[in-house]
Amino acid sequence: MTGHPELIEHYIGGRLVPSLDGSAVDVLEPVRNTPYTKVAAGKAADVARAVAAAREAYEHGPWPSMRARERAGILNRIADAIEARGARIAEMEAHDTGLPITQARGQAARAAENFRFFADVIVASGEEAYSVPGSQLNYVTRKPIGVAGLITPWNTPFMLETWKLAPALASGCTLVLKPAEWSPLSASVLPEIMEEAGVPAGVFNIVHGIGEEAGAALVEHPDVPIVSFTGETTTGKTIMRSAAEHLKTLSMELGGKSPVLVFADADLEAALDSAVFGIFSLNGERCTAGSRILVERSVYEEFTARLAKRADNVRVGLPSDPATEVGALIHPEHHARVLNYVRIGVEEGARLVAGGVVPDDLAGGNFLRPTVFADVTPDMRIFTEEIFGPVVCVSPFDTQEEAIALANATRYGLAGYVWTSDLKRGHQVADAVESGMLWLNSHNIRDLRTPFGGVKASGLGREGGRHSIDLYTEPKIVHVALGDTHVPRFGV
């Protein structure tokens, strides 16, 4: 890919700037694992400069008090600018992350829709009022919470950045974005998009760098009252401990090990399509991936065989090839981690029925054939631990109760999928599976109005629709007396 910056800089107070100490780190492309650019490595001083710019824009700029219709107009112009650059953004994502180009195009389109959606939300929103006739009127006002710290992951970076940016901006917050250091390229187009759309200087800021330095400094900063984080669970725990010092508002979407429950009476072809897409799309690097497939024993061998055949037929190739269905994993460290889980699965005694190897013609990059393990038991690490790659576990069950027990036999609880033609059973299982989200006879189709988030080790808080506006605003209740109020007279 050509035309990328030689150095991806921070964006602070409306200007592109290097790190104060001049430090930068290499960014690798995952097909050959060669450096192709550098990204500024922010430290606490860079974060402090960005937070100061955001705080100045919040306290003295027009953004927090702007009318909803005016702010929505800017959000729609951001969406226009994203759509105008959609092909370029997708090309950047495919090059930087290894995502297949066709899937990267879909993520770019969703990024624009995030801004359009939240523009509509704030225009249509109203305040709450509670009347006690003849006595009292109670009404709720909402104000933006302040400077928001947004920390985003590397797997679908641009779309997930906009998933946080859009509601934070819609709510009137100013912000500092800390993108993932492994995939910073697409974020480099955001400054020109924001400027083109008319976002005032200081409202939107970016500080790049590694999580332990730039991310930690953003979480610790006393002038950042809210942190929204998407990433892995261990980091989430660290953020919670750090944020406790200032009692910050937190929203955290963390890891997942989501089950797919397939009952014998299900439409097996549809369930198979969903299972294959759910684990192998986005290279398996997705939080809601159905990475544990639980199949009723009477159809277990048939379903497993068909799943293995489909996995063998998945097209692994260069991310830039429109025919590619699984591209390159993000980074050599992550590639090695996923390969280690394949080794662990074999050592633990799971039956490898598909994949598990690097394609010979793609050696040297972060590639892996879609991998299917059968006969996986709950005591195996590949059953309970998040792998975050194109690796799926298949296990049999005999009863509905056993299926539910297997589904819940993990510390995670982000998503779940149930396939059955018996809707009574479907609703029962949906209610019993410990997850923040569940799809019944459907793959992962997201309605932006609905709450997104998980339970247990998959995070806390919900984002989406009004839930996102609630996150980035503080409600205040005002009580107004409408008549004479009787007050007990102490001390008379």
Count the alpha carbons within 13 Å of 6 in the hemisphere toward its beta carbon.
0
DSSP of 31-72? TTTEEEEEEE---HHHHHHHHHHHHHHHHHSSTTTS-HHHHH
Give the Cα separation of 352 and 282 in Å (integer): 22
How many H-runs (helices) and E-runs (strands) does the chain carry?
15, 23
Q: Other C-beta atoms within 10 Å of 450: how many?
A: 11
What is the rounded distance in angstroms from the CA atom of residue 32 to the CA atom of residue 363? 9
Element (H, E) at 481: strand 473-481
Identify whether 301 is a catalytic site residue.
no
Distance separating alpha carbons of residues 362 and 184, to the nearest angstrom: 24
**Of residues 178, 142, 183, 148, the one with CA closest to residue 166:** 148
DSSP 331-382: -HHHHHHHHHHHHHHHHHT-EEEE--S--GGGTTSS----EEEES--TTSHH
Distances in Å between the Cα of 78 and the Cα atoms of 31, 212, 260 are 31, 31, 37
Instruction: Name the active-site residue from 9, 93, 253, 296.
Output: 253
Q: Which residue has the tokens 């009574």?
A: 424
CB-based contacts of 283, cutoff 8 Å, min separation 6: 98, 99, 100, 326, 327, 328, 329, 330, 389, 390
State yes or no: is 287 an active-site residue.
Answer: yes
Cα dist. 157→10, 128, 392, 470 in Å?
A: 16, 35, 23, 24
Residues 165/204, Cβ–Cβ less than 8 Å: yes
Longest dimension (CA), the chain: 92
Q: In this structure, what token pair is assigned to residue 397? A: 């069950």
Which residues are within 8 A (CB) of 287 and not within 5 positions of it... i.e. 6 or more apart? 155, 230, 253, 254, 255, 256, 414, 415, 458
Distance CA 408, CA 432 (A): 9
User: Which member of 29, 161, 220, 287 is catalytic?
Assistant: 287
- Is-contact 44 217, C-beta < 8 A? yes
What is the distance between the alpha carbons of residues 166 and 163, in angstroms, rounded to a whole number?
6
Structure tokens at 99: 């995502």
Within its chain, how far is the Cα of 51 from the centroid?
Answer: 23
Per-residue CA distances from 483 to 136, 242, 381, 413, 490 (Å)? 7, 48, 66, 50, 21
Q: Which residues form the catalytic set? A: 253, 287
